Amino acid sequence: MTQYKKFFTLSFDDGLEQDKLTLKMMRKYGIKGTFNLNSGLFGQKAYIKYMNKYGFSNAPKDAKKPIFGKFADADRIPADEIRQVYEGMELATHGVTHANLSKLSPEELRMELLQDKEALQKFTDIPVAGHAFPFGRTNGNVEAFLKENSFLYARGVTSEKAKRNFAFPDNPLNFKPTCWHIDDDIERLVDQFITTDPTDGDMLFYMWGHGYEFDFQSLKGLRDTYERIFDKIASHDEIIKCTNAEAFLSQKESD
């Protein structure tokens, strides 16, 4: 009889200074994850404008801060800190300049993805094999490019709310995560994942977010939520705490 497994993984975009606190908490509880970086934007200092739970535009800090609106820091970690900050975690591509891949030519895709992959590999000994779509935008040409260039997986941004049965995606090169960490039902989902037995195949809980969302006034309790989630997950030895690539490699090897 096949013994199915349960995998828990995290994914954070943009390589922000807030990742340092998140990583401290992850290491405390033995949680692993993946950080999706833009190699052409290392060290960039900016604000993110937000409304309620949603960020929607960046303002560079070398310009005058706009008067109206709510803003959180969106400073990116500089290149000379990347290896040390993310040691032991997986790095994945997020595009050199965070461009909308669905609008790019084949040559522009090559620059955004392969140049990013090559640059990030210099900061880690773990193979760079995954991608997170900027703005969640993709199309068939992008997916074909990812496949041709041996990417293992690629993540969108829309949560899989219609399904949420924790099954691994049929198409790992364009899949929806279990939840965005700003989702209201995140703790209920984690409890459901913990108490559900994997009877029909391996199970995956995939949570993603941006570091700046921890600083939104409307999400003040988000780090406390993480503490509770990590404490629960850490207490279950049967749950495999892993990077994105480790989860998807487990499926590839079982095919």
- Flag whether pLDDT at 99 surpasses 90: yes
Dist. CA 42–CA 130, nearest whole Å: 19
Dist. CA 54–CA 52, nearest whole Å: 6
Band the pLDDT of 255: cuts 50, 70, 90. Answer: low
- Flag whether pLDDT at 1 surpasses 50: no
Residue 201 confidence (pLDDT): 94
- Flag whether pLDDT at 4 surpasses 80: yes
Tokens of residue 163, six digits: 């399904």
Q: Where are the alpha helices (DSSP H) in 53-133?
A: 82-85, 106-109, 116-121
Domains in the chain, please, with CATH?
6-254 (3.20.20.370)
Q: Tens digits of per-residue pLDDT, 144-182?
A: 999 999 999 999 998 876 567 899 999 999 999 999 999
Mean pLDDT of 185-197: 95
Percent of the chain with pLDDT over 90: 89
Q: Tens digits of per-residue pLDDT, 5-50?
A: 999 999 999 999 999 999 999 999 999 999 999 999 999 999 999 9
Name 70's Cβ contacts closer than 8 Å, sequence gap at least 6.
49, 50, 51, 216, 217
- Flag whether pLDDT at 121 surpasses 90: yes
Q: Tens digits of per-residue pLDDT, 63-97?
A: 776 667 899 999 999 999 999 999 999 999 999 99
CB neighbour class for 111 (10 Å; exposed up to 12, middle 13-18, buried from 19): middle
